[in-house]
């Protein structure tokens, strides 16, 4: 199985300007992401950016770079341009690895690509991990997902789904039952190039706008998204100063 990894990297960030270039253990964050992606089975790992500073940094540590439009609204749009620039065939598989995931396990990159290759009825594949905490289950910043019996996604939501009506009707302090299917969506995706070509022609879906979840555009168009539990724990990305310090501390411990 052959696949490509694309790392979309933007310089602009509301909370952490220049985020991909922030230092972690003596290297820019983007370099850590690239090096982990290189340990996967990808045919090629490419940084996609619209910023000359990121281009220069990536080239300095040996990463191939695709310069893309400044008009893209999302990493998915940027992936589509990369596929177009590389003239990839419709059945080519591209894995989107976020540029703020310096701890991404290489094995989950391989997993999501293999899952898409093994499920021709799906145009996209992604991963989840179990939620065991009621606080996490109720947290709107943690995206939840539900799937059908065939492993295809039914919905993604910031709301706590599926809602255990009878359990929460009891009131008071409750905990999630053992084996309750509460699942945290992990934001790594594998796409077929043909899906990316279609995606950029679709308008935002109403549910996508309400939930602020891009993957709902795919479901709204009747496309299938394959879901599976991640084969390794995926640490959170770097979105805040606290996240950055947490990751820096982990790398310092590992020195």
Q: Is the pTM of this model over 0.75?
A: yes
Judged against a pLDDT cut of 70, whether residue 253 lies above it is answered with no
Please, what are the domains in the chain?
Answer: 1-104 (3.90.550.10), 106-234 (3.90.550.10)
If pLDDT is split at 50, 70 and 90, which confidence band does 251 have? confident
pLDDT in tens, 212-242: 999 999 999 999 999 999 999 988 888 888 8
- For position 254, what pLDDT does the model report? 53
Longest dimension (CA), the chain: 59
pLDDT computed for residue 95 by the predictor: 98
Q: Is 87 left (phi over 0), alpha (psi -120 to 50) or beta?
A: left
Q: Residues 158, 144: contact at Cβ < 8 Å?
A: yes
Residue 255: the pLDDT is: 47
pLDDT above 60 for 33: yes
pLDDT in tens, 156-201: 999 999 998 888 887 767 888 888 999 999 999 999 999 999 999 9
Q: Which pLDDT tens digit goes with each residue over 100-150?
A: 999 999 999 999 999 999 999 999 999 999 999 999 999 999 999 999 988
Q: What is the pLDDT of residue 172?
A: 64
């Amino acid at each position: 199985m052959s696949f490509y990894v694309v790392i979309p990297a933007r310089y602009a960030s509301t909370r952490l300007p220049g985020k991909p270039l922030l230092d972690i253990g003596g290297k820019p964050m983007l370099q850590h992401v690239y090096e982990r992606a290189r340990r996967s089975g990808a045919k090629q790992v490419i940084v996609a950016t619209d910023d000359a500073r990121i281009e220069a940094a990536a080239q300095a540590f040996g990463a191939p770079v695709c310069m893309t439009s400044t008009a893209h609204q999302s990493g998915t749009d940027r992936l589509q341009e990369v596929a177009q620039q590389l003239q990839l065939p419709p059945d080519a598989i591209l894995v989107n690895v976020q540029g703020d995931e310096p701890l991404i396990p290489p094995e989950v990159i391989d997993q999501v690509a293999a899952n898409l290759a093994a499920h021709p009825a799906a145009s996209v594949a992604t991963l989840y991990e179990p939620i065991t905490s009621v606080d996490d289950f109720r947290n709107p910043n943690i995206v939840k997902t539900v799937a059908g019996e065939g492993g295809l996604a039914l919905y993604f939501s910031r709301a706590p789904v599926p809602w255990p009506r009878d359990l929460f009707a009891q009131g008071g302090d409750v905990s999630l039952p053992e084996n309750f299917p509460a699942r945290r969506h992990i934001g790594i995706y594998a796409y077929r190039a043909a899906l990316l070509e279609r995606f950029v022609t679709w308008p935002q879906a109403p549910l996508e706008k309400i939930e602020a979840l891009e993957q709902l555009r795919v479901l709204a168009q009747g496309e299938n998204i394959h879901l599976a539990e991640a084969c390794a724990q995926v640490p959170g990305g770097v979105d805040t100063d606290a996240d950055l310090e947490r990751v820096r501390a982990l790398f310092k411990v590992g020195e």
